[in-house]
Amino acid sequence: MTQNNFDNNNNNFDNNNFENNNNNYEENNDDSDDDSDDDSDYESEYYDEIVYDCDEISATKYNIVLCELYNGKLHGKTNNDVSNHYLLINRIKKLDINFINSLTRTLNNDYKEREQQIIPHKFIRNYENIITRPNYIKPEIGVTVTLSSGHTVCIIKTLWIKLIQRAWKKVYNIRTQIFKKRCQVQSLNYREVTGMWPDSCRYMPSLQGLLAS
């Protein structure tokens, strides 16, 4: 065999191998693309199940929301109507803690990375302390309002839930003590004679006037 024939055969062999490998790569790559498309479709569908679309109407006035303080350096300059508000990020349809934690982790990490670019805040003095908290963006109970500027802002109501919980815990402890006093023999005898409980355990606090107590 001459040298030229050997070179030609060798080139043909290399070309055939390259074409076969290339075809196999393209087939495998197509399969992987299909898999990634399936995953993205699944994630998109699940996202739609959890998160309200911006124009979608919720069934209740109060929603689980993710929100952030308005910052002109981050959200762009606008009128003062938005300056001291929380801007809506997402409204959540159902409470999936793992999904929400994944969202908030990404959002909070983004603030850490851009911290030096967006401080100080024009109006909020302790803005840096607020945005550097690990749970700065977290699920809240809130009411959404659309301003004349077109921005959707949140009025956070979670604080009221905490106040109610704290007040009820105080009332619950008082009720527990009153029940114990009413179970005492002298209290039962007093009620049997007079038809009323003793003064020390006569009044039983309830939900009415809870926050005034």
Taking only the tens place, the pLDDT of each residue in 125-169 is 888 888 888 889 999 999 999 888 888 899 999 887 778 888 889
Look at residue 212 in the predicted model and tell me its pLDDT: 62
Query: Could you tell me which of 171, 170, 144 has the C-alpha nearest to residue 157?
Result: 144
Whether residue 58 lies inside any domain: the answer is: no
User: Does the residue 131 lie in any domain?
Assistant: yes
Q: Is 56 domain-assigned?
A: no
Do 152 and 115 share a structural domain? yes
Residues 152 and 173 in one domain: no
Residues 152, 68 share a domain? yes
**Domain presence at residue 57:** no
CA distances from 38 to 32, 98, 109, 126 (A): 10, 21, 28, 45
pLDDT of residue 13: 37
Residue 32: is its pLDDT beyond 50? no
3-state helix vs strand vs coil in the chain, percent to 5:
55, 15, 30
pLDDT value for 21: 44
Reading phi first (left if > 0) and then psi (alpha if -120 to 50, else beta), residue 206 is in beta
| Element spanning 84, H or E | none
Mean pLDDT of 51-57: 85
180, pLDDT greater than 50: yes
The structural domain count of the chain equals: 3
CA separation for the pair 110, 133 (Å, rounded):
12
Shared domain check, 68 and 129: yes
State mean pLDDT over 21-46.
50
User: Is residue 140 assigned to a domain?
Assistant: yes
Which percentage of the chain shows pLDDT scores above 70? 76
Assess whether 151 and 165 both reside in one domain: no
Domain extent for 112: 63-156
Higher pLDDT, 2 or 99: 99
In a domain, 171, yes or no: yes
194 and 165 in one domain? yes
pLDDT of residue 175: 93
- Residues 101 and 86 reside in one and the same domain: yes
Residues 149 and 170 in one domain: no
In a shared domain, residues 70 and 38 = no
Structure tokens at 23: 């075809």
What pLDDT was estimated at residue 60? 84
User: Do residue 152 and residue 168 come from a single domain?
Assistant: no
* 2 exposure class (CB count in 10 Å sphere: 0-12, 13-18, 19+): exposed
Quick one: CA torsion of 167, 172, 177, 179, rounded to 10 degrees?
Answer: 140
**Residue 103 shares a structural domain with residue 171:** no
Question: Whose CA is closest to 150, among 56, 52, 55, 60?
Answer: 55
Instruction: Look at residue 20 in the predicted model and tell me its pLDDT.
Output: 47
